[in-house]
Structures are given as structure tokens and as C-alpha cells.
Amino acid sequence: MLDLSRVLAGPYATQILGDHGAHVIKVEPPIGDETREWGPPFREPDGPRDRRENPSAYYLNINRNKVGIALDLSHPEARAIVLRMLETADVLVENFKIGTMEKWGLGYAEVLAERFPRLIYARISGYGAEGPLGGMPGYDAVVQTMAGLSSTNGTPASGPVKVGVPIVDMVTGLNTVIGILMALHARQLSGRGQFIDMSLYDAAVSILHPHTANWLWGQRLPKLMGNAHPSLAPYDLFETATRPVFLGVGNDAQFKKACVVLGCPQISADPRFTNVALRNQNREVLTEELAAYLSKADGVEIVQTLLEAGVPAGTLNSISEVLTDPQARERNLIWENESYKGTAPPVRLSNNEPKLRHTPPDFGQHNNAVLNEFGYTDDEIATLVKSGAVRRLDTP
């Protein structure tokens, strides 16, 4: 697999596939993947200022299980290297500005589809090539705003707020993986690869459930509800005597169990709260009554009791608490060795366990190894470095 992508959506997608055994060759431009600079923190707090040599934690968390080569694709010799690698590649992933690959003579429809008929080519862009925004640049937070995601998040006091993680980039990466796997399966039947057109905007719109359904079927727009759910109550963050907890009640049986645990069975019997629709209509008074009981409870203890009773609930945890939690450790959600630490992949296949095979590549780290793999001699590599087609840390 040839990974020409940078930043997050593409590298996240290729890391997922690399975690599960794909041979991923990451091709970086002369300045490196820009996320190498997205810190602090950096790998070495007091290390070199050249981020190609001392990358950020951001870069390290989404580029493991890849080998790295640095090419200047403005050089025809570098593009020739890409074409040679594509002779045996199954997949190419890129997220250049639309039209860039065509300018370089590497366009899918114009060149690659005919030359490499089995190639699966995944392009990730901000908005796709069509429409008023076709070809325009897009970053996660910008697309969250443009696609309406921010309009669903926040409180009346805060106003619209973007989601606290780059959810659009990551969902785009996940859908890219799905598209690649579907295309690989289709190739087994047809013998041919195909083009995968992924955009951040499309992915963002796809995760607006249930708000898109509510508008398409009832022209209902979401209200800024903070932690509350537009269709369920109680489904919100509550204060306790010790720490905030989230109570997530999804049906009538869970509601009755929650009221028993909280010591207020009379609330579940109240005719204003006997089903989901009624609890929704009367959510303000219901929230007020439940808050009075929860405010006297110990957060950790009440969550454990609720969970044991079959009611979804959880304490509000910080990132440090999550990453040191016994549950995370028991599920092996942290991968660590002497030179790497990161969150492990969540997909666990019983016969194909994901493994940490390669730590994130340093800039141009595997230039010689990759080029040797594709038949280049050491003398030819030296010539490519001298021309500037292949880059190293010590080349300008």
C-alpha cells in the first residue's frame, strides 16, 4: 500500500490497515508530514528543533506500522519511483489538493487506471471535486462548522461548539478503510480495482444522526442541549456529592431500575414519566427531581451500583484517568515499548491479532530499504538524492 497522504484522515486509515498487517509505505514531501510540527509535546522535549527529526506526539499517534520514504514529487524522477512502486501495490491513498496528481501525470482516470487496472485508488479531499465547494481545502473543525456538526453541539450559554476530538477526520479515515476493504472484495470478483472518492464533508454529513432524520421527516432542528439527548431522558450528566456522572437511560425498564437504585421508585411510577415520549415532554422537571437524589450520592459508588443493575452509567473521567484505568489496561488499549507509546486498535480479530511491527518512521528513514525493495541500486539512490528527488534530513 502506498500512502501519499498527510495530516490525519489518510494516515489514520493507513495506520489501521498497517496495524492489521498491510505493508504500508508512507511517502512524505520534502518538508515532511505537517503534523510533525503539531506540538508540543514532541518525542524529545529538549530535542532538535527540526521537527522532521523530532516529531510531535500527534504525528507519532497516527503513523505506526509504516515504513517511510521522502520524495519531492515535483521531480519526474520521484514520480517515476511512485510509478515503479505502483507496479506491485494494491492500494494508493492520497489527499493532495484536487488536480495535483493529474498535474504530475499520476491521475487515476487519465493514467493509473489503464496502467494499473487492479489498483485501488482512494482520494480524500475536503469537499470532493463537484459542487460550489468542489476542490476547496478543508480541515476538520472547518468542516464540522460547514456540515452543521457544530450547530448540534454546545449549550445555550456556550453557543455552537466543535466536538472536542477531530471526529470528521477520523470518521473519514474509518470510511476510507471500509471503502478500501469493499473495493478489495469487489476486485476478487471482477479482477479490477476502482476509484474511491472520500470527502470530509460527506463523512461529516453522514454522522449527523439523528438530526438529519429529524429534519427530513419533521423539519425539526436540533437545540443546543449540552450533554442531554434530543430523544431520550434521563440521558445527561449529573452532579453527585463527589464527581459528575452520566446517566444513560435508553428504555422504560432501565428507567425503573435506575429509580430503584437511586431510592426514588415513585418517580418511575409518576404518570408524567412512564414512557420515553412522556419523559421527553417533561424532561426539565424529571431532570430536576433526579438531580436532587444524585446530588447526595457518591459518584463512583452509584455508577457501580447502576451498572450492576443493568443501567448504563459512567463517571466523568479525564484523559489521564482513562489511560491509567484498569479497564483500559485489561483490554490492552495501550501499546508501549522502549521507543513508542500509543492507543491500540479497537478491532480484535481472533485469528489475525493486530501487532506493533514498526514504530512511526523518522523522516526518510527507510529511503534505501524501500528503494532497494523496488530494484534501485545504491548508486542509483545516491544519484536520486543528489538530484533532490529523494530527500534526507541532511538535504536542503
Q: Which residues are catalytic?
A: 169
Comparing CA positions, the residue from 273, 159, 275, 272 lying closest to residue 223 is 159
For the chain, how big is the Rg over CA atoms in Å? 25
Q: Are 36 and 51 within 8 A, CB to CB? A: yes
**325 contacts 317 by C-beta, under 8 angstroms:** yes
d(CA 285, CA 287): 5
| Pair 138, 123: CB distance under 8 Å | no
Query: How many residues in total does the chain contain?
Result: 396
Give 123's strand partners.
94, 197
Question: Are 230 and 281 a contacting pair, CB within 8 Å?
Answer: no
Backbone dihedral angles phi then psi of residue 36, each to the nearest 5 degrees: -60, -25
- Peptide bond preceding 234 in cis form (omega within 30 of 0): yes
